[in-house]
């Protein structure tokens, strides 16, 4: 029955000739897991199915992680009919079997290919085979395509050339009649944030992330303000590099079409807990897809408590929030990445008139950061704005993180059931993010730490490589108008 409904919807979309970003998918940023960051080419049915089960057991599915995405290195080439064939050693039961098992668990199945003659690891690519491959993916029951950019045979270098190459697959996916989320992965080449919204549900805006906080590396040549005109996306991009690179065009992300800051590194060991919190906070606030990249089967407690943290996830999954943007950046910075004394303020508009703020200390020493309502509401007129005259309750978004003890119990029990997690764990299948936020659910709005009023400076000491994240909610309701207070 459900299947019939899906097919009918998809056919209706097809008749209307809709664009990929109107395929009804990713109205909020997609969440899931991809094997690449932790496993590279070491892929198998066992890995995917074992991970999928853990995603369910550890409560990750119930906070929204939905797609299990198989990255590069899965194929054995093409058969006599030019149909892609799965490597039978890695996937002895074929891809449809993997997809079926994912669906049995209530998860979506993601697949990978490249808009080139070969994938980045030199397996068969889809350039010239788009319709055939889209049909193959649909016949296997695929729900998501990550579409890379390697070996594109020179069909790149200007926006229209790249747009046309990626549009062929967008059209081919739509023509299958199956809703398949389309994640473009051309690393920001030819500035996809300017043109990909009508064909894709997300687009990578940088070279590959590397599990490091702020590492200068010539293989990721562009950063900060230079990122806009970056001709060579490179790879080995640090988290701070990507954060600064996306800052000028965060607003290009909209429901159904998002800037993709690349997969999460939480749990992979290259950053500190503080740095991983910053990573998770900003990827959520900027509304990047949230695709876990660690080994879920050997999840440790601190990583789990970050990945499940609802007050931050609510920033991403709030249907009415917009991507956070950088209000200011104070720095004594080198050309690449973040500077030794760098601090930043970011703000995000949330549903119901709430506002999130993020005070970032990207430097290497403790720093006291300060902001005010006039600063936060600069766009609305600063000190003269209605918002700057209102009183705002301030909620710390990290204060009520699940303890290591409780997260450890979930890992140990292999289940969220039977563990006392009710004060910190938000099950989004029992109540939607929108309803939880409207109901002032403390698991979503964070812990009250004070009030901001007109003219007051909010000062806080922030540890190196750390972020203080707050939700501001106007006192006495969610109205923005002074006379309605
Ligand atoms: C590119 C992508 C990565 C990953 C690899 C696989 O580098 O950007 O995310 O998919 O290819 O080879």
Q: pLDDT at residue 93 above 70?
A: yes
The three-class DSSP label of residue 450 is: strand
Report the alpha-carbon distance of residue 246 to residue 188 in Å, rounded: 10
**Residue 469 bridge partners (DSSP):** 358
> What pLDDT was estimated at residue 333?
56
Same domain, 306 and 337: no
Mean pLDDT of the 120-136 span: 98
pLDDT at position 270: 98
Q: Is 148 a catalytic residue?
A: yes
CA-nearest residue, atom 12 of ligand 1: 120
Residues 6 or more apart from 177 whose CB is under 8 A from it? 7, 10, 11, 14, 138
CA distances from 234 to 5, 188, 240 (A): 43, 10, 15
Of the listed ranges 202-206, 313-317, 376-380, 474-478, the one predicted with least confidence: 474-478
Q: Is the CB of 260 under 6 A from ligand 1?
A: no
**pLDDT band for position 224 (50/70/90)?**
low
Rg (CA), the chain: 22
Task: Give the strand pairing for 343-349 and 355-361.
Answer: antiparallel
**Strand runs (DSSP E) across 306-446, as ranges?**
325-330, 343-349, 355-361, 367-372, 392-396
Element (H, E) at 101: helix 94-104
> Residue 277's domain is classified under what CATH number?
3.20.20.70
Residue 334 structure tokens: 């080198």
pLDDT of 6 reads 41
DSSP string, 213-237: SS---TTS---GGGGGG-S---S-B
More confident position, 219 or 475: 475
Question: Does ligand 1 come within 6 angstroms of the Cβ of 118?
Answer: no
pLDDT tens for 68-89 read 999 999 999 999 999 999 999 9
Instruction: At 441, give phi and psi (nearest 5°).
Output: -65, 120
371-394, pLDDT tens digit by residue?
Answer: 999 999 999 999 999 999 999 999
Structure tokens at 105: 């668990």
The answer to whether the CB of 208 is under 6 A from ligand 1 is yes
Are the C-beta atoms of residues 137 and 85 closer than 8 Å to each other?
no
Question: Nearest C-alpha to atom 3 of ligand 1 is from which residue?
Answer: 208
411 inside domain:
no
Is position 420 within any domain?
no
Shared-domain flag, residues 224 and 353: no
Residue 434 domain-assigned (yes or no) = no
Q: What's the rounded mean pLDDT across residues 334-339? A: 59
Q: What mean pLDDT comes out for the span 244-267?
A: 96
DSSP string, 8-64: HHHHHHHHTT--GGGSS--SS--EEEESHHHHTT---HHHHHHHHHHHHHTTSGGGT
Q: Which residue has the higher pLDDT, 53 or 217?
A: 53
> pLDDT value at position 13?
44
Average pLDDT, the chain: 91
Span between the terminal Cα atoms of the chain, in Å:
49
Say how many Å lie between the CA of residue 37 and the centre of ligand 1. 9
Any atom of ligand 1 within 6 Å of the Cβ of 123 = no
CA distance 390 to 480: 8
Residues 311 and 337 both lie in one domain: no
Phi, psi of 74 (to 5 degrees): -95, -15
Check pocket membership of 148 for ligand 1, CB cut-off 6 A: yes
The torsion angles phi and psi of 204, rounded to 5 degrees, stand at: -65, 135
pLDDT the model gives residue 215: 80
Active-site annotation holder among 143, 208, 260, 262 = 208
132 and 85 co-located in one domain: yes
Asked, for residue 409, whether it belongs to a domain, the answer is no
What gap in Å lies between CA 314 and CA 414, rounded to an integer? Answer: 24
CA atoms within 13 A on the CB side of 57: 17
Tell whether 125 is covered by a domain.
Answer: yes
Which of 370-373's residues contact partners 24+ apart within 8 Å by CB, and which partners?
Answer: 370/457, 370/458, 370/459, 370/460, 371/345, 371/457, 371/458, 372/452, 372/455, 372/456, 372/457, 372/458, 373/452, 373/453, 373/454, 373/455, 373/456
Write down the catalytic residue from 148, 260, 318, 354: 148
pLDDT over 80 at 342, yes or no: yes
Q: What's the rounded mean pLDDT across residues 157-186? A: 97
For residue 244, what are its two tokens?
């600064």
pLDDT at residue 122 is higher than 70: yes
Quote the pLDDT of residue 149. Answer: 97
| From 74, 148, 183, 293, mutation site for ligand 1 pocket: most ligand atoms within 8 A of C-beta | 148
Instruction: With beta carbons less than 8 A apart as the criterion, state whether 327 and 346 touch.
Output: yes
CATH code: domain of residue 374: 2.60.40.1180
Tell me the H-state helices in 176-300: 239-246, 273-285
Fill in the DSSP letter of residue 441: -
Distance CA 113, CA 173 (A): 13
Question: Do 288 and 224 fall within a single domain?
Answer: yes
Q: What does the pLDDT read at residue 406?
A: 96
H helix runs in 141-195, sequence order: 159-175
Q: Evaluate if residue 109 carries a pLDDT over 60.
A: yes
Q: Please indicate, yes or no, whether residues 334 and 451 belong to a single structural domain of this protein.
A: yes
Would you place residue 15 in the very low, low, confident or very high pLDDT band (cuts 50, 70, 90)? very low
pLDDT of residue 91: 98
State the distance from the centre of ligand 1 to the C-alpha of 355, rounded, in angstroms: 35
pLDDT at site 156: 95
The number of distinct structural domains making up the chain is: 2
Q: Does 190 sit in the ligand 1 pocket, CB within 6 Å? A: no
Say yes or no: 284 and 163 in one domain. Answer: yes
38 plus 177 within the same structural domain: yes
Residue 279 has pLDDT above 90, yes or no: yes
Q: Using CA positions, which residue lies closest to atom 9 of ligand 1? A: 208
Q: Where is the domain boundary, 266, 297, 317?
A: 317
Residues 289, 361 within the same domain: no
Domain end call among 278, 295, 317: 317
Q: Walk across the sheet containing 355-361 and list its strands.
A: 325-330, 343-349, 355-361, 466-474, 392-396, 447-452
Cα separation, 52 vs 296, in Å, equals 9
The H or E element that residue 389 is part of is helix 386-389
Q: What is the pLDDT of residue 418?
A: 86
CA dihedral for 115, 116, 121, 122, sign (positive or negative): positive
Give the pLDDT band (50/70/90) at residue 484: very low
Whether 208 is catalytic:
yes
For the segment 194-210, the average pLDDT, to the nearest whole number, is 97
CA of 35 to the centre of ligand 1 (A): 11
- Domain assignment of residue 130, given as a range: 2-317
Confidence (pLDDT) at 230: 77
DSSP at 387: H
| Total Cβ atoms within 10 A of residue 132 | 16
Tokens of 188: 């920001």
**Is the same domain home to 308 and 341?**
no
Residue 415 in domain: no
Asked whether residue 16 carries a pLDDT value surpassing 50, the answer given is no
Q: 447-452 and 355-361 as β-strands: parallel, antiparallel, unpaired?
A: unpaired
pLDDT reading at 482 higher than 70: no
Higher pLDDT, 5 or 218: 218
Residue range 280-290: average pLDDT? 98
Is residue 185 in contact with ligand 1, taking CB distance under 6 Å?
yes
Residue 460 resides in a domain: yes
Q: Which of 264, 293, 317 is the last residue of a domain?
A: 317
CA distance 250 to 255: 13
Tell me the percentage of the chain whose pLDDT exceeds 90. 84
Whether 36 is in the pocket of ligand 1, judged by its Cβ within 6 Å, is yes
Q: Is there a single domain that holds both residue 306 and residue 352?
A: no
CA–CA dist 474, 456 (Å, integer)? 15
Domain assignment present for residue 436? The answer is no
Pocket test for ligand 1, best of 32, 33, 34, 71 (most atoms within 8 A of CB): 71
What average pLDDT does this structure show over 257-273? Answer: 98
Backbone angles phi, psi at 185, to 5 degrees: -130, 65
Distance CA 7, CA 4 (A): 5
Mutating to test ligand 1, I would choose from 72, 73, 219, 263 the residue with most ligand atoms within 8 A of its C-beta, which is 72
CB of residue 34 inside a 6 A radius of ligand 1: no
Same domain, 204 and 331: no
- pLDDT number for residue 7: 42
Question: pLDDT band for position 216 (50/70/90)?
Answer: confident
Q: Which residue has the higher pLDDT, 472 or 334?
A: 472
């Amino acid at each position: 029955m459900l299947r019939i409904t899906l097919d009918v919807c998809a056919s209706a979309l097809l008749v209307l000739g809709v664009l990929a970003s109107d395929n009804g998918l990713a109205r909020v940023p997609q969440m899931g897991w991809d094997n690449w960051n932790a496993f590279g080419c070491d892929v198998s049915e066992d890995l995917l199915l074992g991970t999928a089960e853990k995603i369910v057991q550890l409560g990750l599915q119930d906070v929204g992680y939905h797609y299990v995405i198989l990255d590069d290195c899965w194929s054995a080439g093409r058969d006599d009919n030019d149909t892609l064939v799965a490597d039978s050693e890695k996937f002895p039961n074929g891809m449809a079997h993997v997809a079926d098992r994912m669906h049995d668990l209530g998860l979506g199945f993601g697949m990978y290919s490249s808009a080139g003659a070969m994938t980045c690891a030199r397996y068969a690519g889809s350039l010239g085979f788009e319709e055939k491959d889209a049909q193959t993916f649909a016949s296997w029951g695929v729900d998501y395509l990550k579409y890379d950019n390697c070996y594109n045979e020179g069909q790149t270098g200007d926006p229209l050339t790249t747009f046309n190459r990626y549009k062929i697959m967008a059209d081919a996916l739509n023509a299958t009649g199956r809703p398949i989320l389309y994640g473009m992965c051309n690393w920001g080449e030819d500035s996809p944030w300017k043109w990909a919204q009508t064909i894709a549900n997300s687009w990578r805006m940088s070279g590959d992330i590397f599990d490091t906080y702020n590492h200068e590396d010539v293989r990721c040549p562009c950063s900060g303000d230079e990122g806009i005109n970056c001709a060579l996306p490179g790879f080995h991009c640090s988290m701070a590099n990507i954060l600064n690179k996306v800052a000028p065009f965060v607003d290009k992300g909209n429901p159904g079409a998002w800037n993709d800051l690349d997969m999460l590194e939480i749990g992979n060991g290259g950053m500190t807990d503080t740095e991983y919190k910053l990573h998770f906070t900003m990827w959520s606030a900027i509304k990047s897809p949230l695709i876990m990249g660690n080994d879920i089967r050997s999840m440790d407690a601190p990583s789990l408590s970050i990945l499940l943290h609802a007050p931050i996830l609510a920033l991403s999954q709030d249907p009415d929030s917009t991507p956070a943007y950088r209000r200011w950046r104070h720095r004594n910075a080198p050309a690449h990445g973040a500077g030794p004394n760098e601090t930043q303020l970011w703000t995000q508009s949330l549903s119901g008139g709430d506002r999130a703020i993020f005070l970032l200390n990207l430097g290497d020493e403790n720093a006291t950061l300060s902001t005010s309502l006039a600063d936060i509401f600069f766009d609305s007129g600063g000190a003269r704005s209605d918002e700057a005259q209102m009183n705002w309750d301030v909620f710390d978004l990290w204060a009520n993180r699940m303890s290591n003890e409780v997260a450890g119990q979930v890992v140990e029990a292999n289940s969220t059931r039977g563990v006392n997690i009710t004060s910190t764990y938000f099950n989004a299948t029992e109540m939607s993010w929108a309803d939880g936020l409207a109901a002032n659910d403390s698991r979503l709005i964070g812990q009250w730490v004070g009030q901001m009023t007109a003219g007051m400076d909010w000062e806080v000491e922030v540890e190196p490589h750390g972020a203080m994240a707050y939700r501001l909610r106007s006192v006495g309701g969610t109205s923005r108008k002074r006379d309605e207070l």
